[in-house]
Amino acid sequence: MGGTEADIDDFGGAFTLQRADFQALLDALSKLGYDIIAPTMKDGAIVYGAIRAVEELPIGWTDDQGPGRYRLSKRLDGALFGYAVGPHSWKKYLHPPERELWRAKRNGNAVTFKTKPPDKQKRAFLGVRACEIAAIDIQSRVFVDDLYSDESYETRRRNTMVIAVNCSSPAETCFCTSMDTGPAVSGGYDLLITEVVEENAHVFVMKAASNAGQAVLAQLPLKTASPADVASSRAVIRGAEQAISRTMDTEGLRELLQENPEHPQWDDVASRCLSCTNCTAVCPTCFCTTVADHTGLSGEESRRLQTWDSCFSGAFSELSGGSVRQSTKSRYRQWMTHKLSTWIDQFGASGCVGCGRCIAWCPVGIDITAEVTSLRAKPKKEA
Amino acid sequence: MAPLRKPKLAVWKFASCDGCQLSLLDCEDEILALADTIDIAHFPEFSRRVTRGRYDLSLVEGSITTTHDRTRIQDIRRRSKKLVTIGACATAGGIQALRNGRNLTEFISVVYAHPEYIDALATSTPISDHVKVDFELRGCPIDKAQLLETILAFLHGRRPSISTTSVCTECKARGTVCIMTAKGAPCLGPVTHAGCGAICPAYDRACYGCFGPMESPNTTSLAKQWSALGAPRDQIARAFSTFNVAAPAFEKTARAHADKDN
Ligand code: SF4
Ligand code: SF4
Ligand code: SF4
Ligand code: SF4
């Protein structure tokens, strides 16, 4: 995504909301029956959780990220959205870590099955970044727009309002510009917010792209955005683009990975990788799960639970006779090759949106962009 | 489906603190229901009624530290259809395995008023060093939900549904912010077997590895990262020298960071 005016989302029909009126947005969402899920501070990080008051946002805070490292620090201003993405992603809500698929009960010789009704709670995700919209689209492609559709995911997605925010303060780990997913939001939202913090002004330039978004705007004390407001919004986006320094060269990456399963770099990364599964848990596109049955004491009832799984676990590739991917080398290679290469064959696009979470939250700081560089440096291993 | 004969459960103690057996007693609500389905035939901590003979499932707590126990475990194995070890002592040798490779006679003379009464082996070893073990349940102490799952699995003839990945998996599932990356805390979670539900990091305490090594523990890489975060060598050696010190992956890294005279 380049920095030209044409690439930046069109601000026609935009309005401004004053910082002093931001609570009105939260109140309107609550009144319309939405649970508001937003960035909030917990245990030294910015995570996603339910909020009702503007004070619960990380006002005036930002994050400082690097490989295997995340720290919060104070900003000089009182921005509400002046940080990048943290350890949580929206998949926590759309594709939760644990879900009951069904319960079964034995009555004499009959067995009855029960499934929970789909979760229809309306949720408003406030502060969704461009890379995260791309990630939600990718998971929707996997769960909904395929041969089989996951009703549970589809229901939650359908009842979710996406309130996007254009990034102003990317982290050192961000590389959305390489993956063509950000930092400017372009579509996939109900409402779009650009936060403008200037010397004497603190406003939110807002735009609706759906009826649901429009219904929220109708409740707010808005003013039509002036040309100056629009110019400020564009400046925020350009500033974010310029602040992103990390890159991943995606040219021919699909082929590079598929042609180099024996590259010596895989041994190198395996010597560092802990096969701890953190990268897959924080990745907003990783979707793999496993199922397990839990029997009750009497043997009369059973629950089937779906939980997140990871290609870094041994059981993930277990067939009769054992795990197919015994070594950490084969697991890391599977993860990276799927994410950046065979994902394209399978779903028509890369599985990486450049959010940088796997870099920051890897306990030993393994950096997927650096791994790509190393794989390129020494291509095919000599036979 | 009432079985024709209730399966017989036995609980055995070797060198241990009783904590794991207490986890079974701690299943207050479940243990009575359990007693409906199985015959608790030998569990002195629970009931004085002891049935001799053969058992369908034996739960073994504790490590082997005496010649007497070395013989006793053979007898228990012969009389048990399935044998499951419970806890770090039975599975890895326990904290008492710190004596392995050191001077036991000297320890005994320092600790006991009458060393002549002590008849102990030079090492503390896991049950699997002596007999075939059907399943090993981790933890110091074990987790009661995992214990119930294991008992139920054996009752129903299926494999226990117990994850062998890292504690990090559980940390992420419950949404805990990683204290290693966000605070620089020296956490053993990435190399430690899941099962506790990632309790310690949830209370802002680094995992200290009480469940022992996970399925593919890269302790060398983790120790390197700890050094980079500023942990001195002796701290690394000590972290790997607790309840699971005799588990090979932990022992190796503890040794690599120990001072030469140790
Ligand atoms: S790459 Fe990092 S986060 Fe992922 S499994 Fe390996 S050590 Fe864990
Ligand atoms: S692979 Fe890493 S950078 Fe790419 S989407 Fe997943 S977590 Fe984000
Ligand atoms: S990767 Fe891009 S869109 Fe995502 S948080 Fe960073 S700057 Fe924003
Ligand atoms: S706090 Fe420890 S156990 Fe939890 S994710 Fe971080 S390293 Fe793993």
Whether residue B213 has a cis bond before it, omega within 30° of 0: no
Q: Each residue of A245-293: pLDDT tens digit?
A: 999 999 999 999 999 999 999 999 999 999 999 999 999 999 999 999 8
- How far away is chain A from the Cα of B169, in angstroms, using its nearest Cα? 6
Distance (Å, whole) CA B50 – CA A30:
62
End-to-end Cα spacing for chain A: 39
Answer whether residue B44 shows pLDDT above 50. Answer: yes
What value does the mean pLDDT take over residues B5-33? 89
A127 Cα–ligand 1 center, Å = 27
Answer whether residue A1 shows pLDDT above 80. Answer: no
Q: Each residue of A97-145: pLDDT tens digit?
A: 999 999 999 988 999 999 999 899 999 999 999 999 999 999 999 999 8
* Ligand 4 atom nearest residue A276's Cα: 8
Q: How many CB pairs under 8 A join A and B?
A: 133
Answer whether residue B101 shows pLDDT above 90. Answer: no
Q: Evaluate: CB of A129 within 6 angstroms of ligand 3.
A: yes
What value does the mean pLDDT take over residues B109-120? 89
Return the pLDDT at A9.
60
Distance (Å, whole) CA A160 – CA A192:
14
Whether residue A183 has a cis bond before it, omega within 30° of 0: yes
Chain A CB within 8 Å of residue B187 CB: yes
- How far away is chain B from the Cα of A354, in angstroms, using its nearest Cα? 19
Search chain B and give the residue with CA nearest A72. B182
Per-domain boundaries in chain A: 15-100+111-243, 253-376
Answer whether residue A4 shows pLDDT above 90. Answer: no
**Residues B125/B97, Cβ–Cβ less than 8 Å:** yes
Return the pLDDT at A380.
56
**Ligand 4 pocket mutation, candidates A47, A274, A276, criterion most atoms within 8 A of CB:** A276
Q: Evaluate: CB of A85 within 6 angstroms of ligand 3.
A: yes
Answer whether residue A225 shows pLDDT above 50. Answer: yes
End-to-end Cα spacing for chain B: 57
Max distance between CA atoms of chain B, in angstroms, equals 61
Residues of A with Cβ-Cβ distance to B215 under 8 angstroms: 275, 313-314
Answer whether residue B25 shows pLDDT above 90. Answer: no
Distance (Å, whole) CA A334 – CA A312:
9
Q: Which of A69, A299, A308 sits opposite B1 (nearest CB)?
A: A299
Q: Helix, strand, or coil here: B193? A: strand
Distance (Å, whole) CA A194 – CA B50:
73
What the block records as the tokens of B40 is 């608790």
Q: Evaluate: CB of A86 within 6 angstroms of ligand 3.
A: no
A67 Cα–ligand 4 center, Å = 15
Q: Evaluate: CB of A164 within 6 angstroms of ligand 3.
A: no
What value does the mean pLDDT take over residues A62-66? 98
Per-domain boundaries in chain B: 8-155, 167-258
Nearest CA to ligand 2 atom 4: A352
Q: Each residue of A363-383: pLDDT tens digit?
A: 999 999 999 999 998 655 444
Q: Each residue of B71-100: pLDDT tens digit?
A: 999 999 999 999 999 999 999 999 999 999
Q: Helix, strand, or coil here: B117? A: helix
Q: What is B8-155's CATH topology? A: Rossmann fold (3.40.50)
For chain A, give the secondary structure using H, E and C: CCCCHHHCCCCCCCEEEEHHHHHHHHHHHHHCCCEEEEEEEECCEEEEEECCCHHHCCCCEEEEEECCEEEEEECCCCCCCCCCCCCCCCHHHHCCCEEEEEEEEEECCEEEEECCCCCCCCEEEEEECHHHHHHHHHHHHHHCCCCCCCHHHHHHHHCEEEEEECCCCCCCCCCHHHHCCCCCCCCCCCEEEEEEEECCEEEEEEEECCHHHHHHHCCCCCEECCHHHHHHHHHHHHHHHHHCCCCCCCCCHHHHHHHCCCCCHHHHHHHHCCCCCHHHHHCCCCCCEEEEEEECCCCCEEEEEEEECCCCCCHHHEECCEECCCCHHHHHHHHHHHHHHHHHHHHCCCCCCCCCHHHHCCCCCCCHHHHHHHHHHCCCCCC
For residue A121, how many other CB atoms are within 10 A of its CB?
A: 13
Residues of A with Cβ-Cβ distance to B175 under 8 angstroms: 47, 88, 92, 97
The pTM (predicted TM-score) of the whole model is: 0.94
Mean pLDDT of chain B: 92
Return the pLDDT at A8.
52
CB-based contacts of B85, cutoff 8 Å, min separation 6: B59, B60, B61, B91, B126, B127, B128, B133, B135, B136, B137
